[in-house]
Amino acid sequence: MADTPAGLLNNRYALTTVIRSGGMATITRAFDTKENCVVAIKRMKPAANSRRQYAALDAVEYDRAVNTRLKAIVADPEIAQAPIELDNVSAKDPKLDSEKVDVLKKALGEFELLAIEGPPGTGKTALIAEIIVQWLERHPKHRILLASQTHIALDNVLDRVSELGAMPDVVRIGRADDPRIADSAKPFILEHKVERWIAEVRTSAEKAMAKWADAHGVDRSAVTLGMQVELLIRIADIATVIRRQAGNAFSRDILALKRIVRRANVFRSAVALVFRNAKCQSGNILNPVNRL
């Protein structure tokens, strides 16, 4: 079924409110303009969502989940180890009430699996942000995967984390042109972060290479060209890591990085020609970059 320019589904149903959304379908209340009555319409979610959900269930069923005890805990929650609360924990957000601080103490302690349940409007977003900030303060080398069924819920958490004044290094998954992603979250999209990473690496590398070239009496232009090749190679390495960790989740980003890799091969040939003309050994130029 598809929406029509008039705003009706199948030129007949006026959608009003979502009754339930979950699993593989969404049930929406609608007005049937032909029969002049209210109906409920079930719409299946995109096939990609279904495939991801089936893959997740398959991973749990065959013990491929990160938490190897997840299947056993879901089957019998009583076997889960009780969380060990931390003492002397205080909230950074002064609006967080005592009940949520108690949950925070459990979340920051040792636990196997922790589920927090609450109706809308009870402050779960603020609590999630508090957990993220305080967990990373205690474990700065850890990584956190934040997932949600909606973009707005995800971006609200990022906004709350930012308000706490301790924004971690965040990568927001999504397309840069996706209107569902909040403007406040756009700077964290992978595409934009790669652009900033390139600029930062280039600035740092240019300073280091200029200093090295002057110290060794090497032509700066040849060094700069070699540096550009090495930078593109590093970006290619990023593409490899993304491909291994995320599969098809970043397919568009990976394709873009593959194009950069092809450009790197062209630069390699150009650098080799410059080095031959200058009677320089390419290894002497590129090796210092590897040590940056």
Given this model, what pLDDT does residue 197 score? 82
The tokens describing 73, both together, are 């805990």
Contact predicate 128/134, CB 8 Å: no
What value, to the nearest 5°, has the Cα angle with vertex 103 and ends 98 and 108? 120
> Taking the model in full, what pTM does it have?
0.57
C-alpha neighbours within 13 Å on the C-beta side of residue 276 = 6
Q: For the segment 55-105, what is each residue's pLDDT rounded down to a tens digit?
A: 888 999 998 888 888 999 988 988 888 888 888 888 999 889 989 999 999
Return the number of other C-beta atoms located less than 10 Å from residue 80's C-beta.
17
Mean pLDDT of 166-193: 86
Question: What is the bridge-based pairing of β-strands 37-44 and 13-22?
Answer: unpaired
Q: Cα(111)–Cα(114) distance, rounded to whole angstroms?
A: 7
Where do runs of H (alpha helix) occur along the chain? 47-61, 70-75, 98-108, 124-138, 151-163, 190-216, 220-246, 251-277, 282-290
As a whole number of angstroms, the distance between CA 13 and CA 135 comes to 47
Handedness of CA 139, 145, 148, 153 (dihedral sign): positive
Question: Which band of pLDDT confidence, cut at 50, 70 and 90, is reported for residue 142?
Answer: very high
Question: What's the pLDDT score for residue 111?
Answer: 77
Whether 2 and 15 have beta carbons less than 8 Å apart is answered as no
Q: How confident is the model at residue 291 (pLDDT cuts 50, 70, 90)?
A: very low
Residues in the chain: 292
**Distance between CA atoms of 288 and 205, rounded to whole angstroms?**
10
H-helix or E-strand containing 39?
strand 37-44
Please say if the pLDDT value at position 249 is more than 60. Answer: no
Domain ranges of the chain: 13-45, 47-80, 81-185, 191-290
Statement: residue 149 has pLDDT above 60: yes
